[in-house]
Chain A
Amino acid sequence: MPTIDFSVTVDNKDRAYDVENEESTVNFLEIGQSIEALYGQAMNDGTIEWIPGTSLALKSWSADDTEMDFQASDCFEGMDGTYYRGQYHPDGMSLYDMAVDVLADAQVDYRDYWIDPYLKNVLVVNPMPVVAHKEALQLIANAGRCILYQDRTGRIILKSSFVPDMEAASDNETYFSHASAILDHAEKEAYALPGQDYTGTSGAQYFLPRQTTNGATYLNTGYVSEAVAEEDGLFADNPTVEITTEAAYKCFGLTLEFGRNWPDTVIFHAYYNNAAMEDYTVPGLTQTYVVSHEFPEFDRLVLEFSKGCPNNRVVLDNIIFGDSTDYVLEYGVELTKTPKGTQLTKVRELQVVRTIYNLSTEDAKELARETISVTALDNRYTFYFSNPSYDLKTYVPVYVEATNMVQNGSFDTGVTGWLNAQYDAARKCTYVVSEDGNAVHIVQTVQMISGHKYYLRGNFMREESPGEYSGNDECDLVRAIANRESFNINLRPEAIAPDGVWHTKSAIDTVETTGEWDLRIYTYGNKRLYTDSLLLVDLTAAWGIGNEPDIEWCDKFIGYFTIASIPKYGCEIVDSSAYYATVELTGITGPTEVVVTGRDYVTTQSKVSRQLNPTGSLEAWNNPLVSDTVHAANLADWIGDYMKSDREYDLSYRGEPRIDANDIAFLENKYVPDLLIRVTDHTLKFNGGLSSTIKARRDMSYVATAKNRLAGQ
């Protein structure tokens, strides 16, 4: 976890900062208050050049009679709340979205962070474990091969920290050109081409095979443009090479290696998310040309050759990317002491652990049972689980006994108990249809009691068939004797649209007549009306008079049944993750026992190994977000590069406010020219003058190939 600790001691003149002094500014300080530090250097002309130092949150302060101390730290210090929102995502969730969710949960404003869009392409399925927000961010950063830090303006930055995979291509290349090979760093072969003064006679070039369709093999060339420069070096159509990167990439320089004749001018067009970021022209190219330029962050870089070598094609063998630096820590110049080097323990093998989540084959079990106090204003309660769980359900274990008054309401085995009913064996339901436009209905008689409230519900579907529907449908309860229609479910065409899909419809009412009622599915329409799962419940008999639930409650909490104990009170999960469930209770107040059931995920582990050294220790790296083999292998390579750097340096030097942790620099060394180090710890002190110490690690990763290319430029 990157940290910035900041401490300032000032003169407590006239005891202005005495904590007992009511007029002191000390009384206006608040924990978490923003502290911004700027470094200023007085120039010879009397002006002061300022550079931003850091932006931190005030942590503590204290004063004695002579001095006042302020301590501040970065924003990660305060992000110690717990993140419970981890969720298993079988289809994958991007690390970007996960980071946004963590930051939102930590109540960080979206303007106060930047996340590398590359992370939108890295999907993980595993839930984030229950950890502090800052640790969650660190896990995301690690899984995405990113670094996490707070920049000098106080913004949280989550940024990829590897040379992303790149691809090069061109729509202006010869049949034997390999634009894609310019990124492979390999030495290229040269064909004998007719370009002016291009082909030598020393035997170092090769005969070009003719263009055929039978799969001729060609030597490993780089990019060779289709366009040939005219006598004046200009092209009719400027050749271009396009490089796309897997992730946004910040580059401080690159090296172009051309073939025997090199063009004169190239224009770099940098794009990010398809927005043009910069056009940078480099004239006066040479065969090996180092472009020492801080490019803006890009995910697409187009090289346009605007002026070539007269009467020649553009032959580009390689483009070498990589961080580069011109900052050198030299004896007697920067260093105030000789560097102290430490050989760290070698790592023989790195094992990246993959955690694989599987669904449980066991039945759901009780995950939580607790009596909570419910009020009308506070009817929600959150349960936390120790293991990642799914298939969560909740209920209040108080039941009422109820019976479905509809006989054979599910039509599983036929239409027994119904008059006039037609049976659809495939759908296991009944249907009704009018052949001639006259009303038709199927019917069953039920016994109802005056003053009781009843809940009627069913699933309905209109036949999906050609032609317009004509007619009307209804499901109703009719007091046959008095022929009084008490209540009904409206099944007009628009109420159960679209056709071919089941629709659940319900109604609730209090009846006024005791006796036999007809439950009817009625139509005079020309298309079949399918009916299933009919339910009629005497709510008054089950809940008691005056306590009957309303129709919304019934729709939500009563499933289809014949005879059942159904929960008396409504209780549902309104928010959940793999580690918590927030339940909401309706229709109840006071102490209430609530149960949450679910299943635990079954987790297994597997490992991806990378051999680093013939001898040394075995290290295991466990990031619980990692489950995929390719993902684990990428991570093993990335961490392996770091672990291969088994030398650490302690340096004392003159102090440089521009240096941050994770910067790279060259260190003067008798045995290794261009010894590259990566700063891991930087302490800067000012007491009338600057002084500083650095802890750094020898960088053996991809940047180890970066030479001090900027030196002497």
Chain B
Amino acid sequence: MPTLNMVLNGKEVSVDVEPGDLLVHVLRDKLGQIGTKLSCGEGECGACTVLVDGLAMTSCIYPALKAQGRRVTTIEGLSEGRALHPIQQAFVDATAPQCGYCIPGMVMSAKALLDHNPHPSEEEIKEGLSGNICRCTGYYQIVEAVKLAAERMAGEGGTQ
């Protein structure tokens, strides 16, 4: 069985995987990181979005071994203890979540967006989140949350 070595949320991890394992299953089932959600399983809904070397991708169609030697960031990697990341706090303050299932993926897409573009326009926010589906909210508060996060992070002097 091959061993996957990666830097997960800043820590080096090694885990035995099957050659056909997908990253979402390794994260959830083998590493207990269940913040990443599995929904459509087809790369269509974005619930399973994680960052690999800073780029957002859908972990449900991403062969785990592709992450060999890479830096993987999941929703668990954003907060420091119980102190929420500014994006997470903005989602809370803007009451962006309803059922909440899509939110880890939304937050990770927002993170990828703001890391590359700290001052996005509303159109750019919608484009940045266009790979994530929410079936509750109608997206309005989610877009507002990303705007709020961008404002606050600019106030702090940049992204984290």
Asked if A and B bind, the verdict is no
Q: State the A residues within 8 Å of B (CB).
A: none
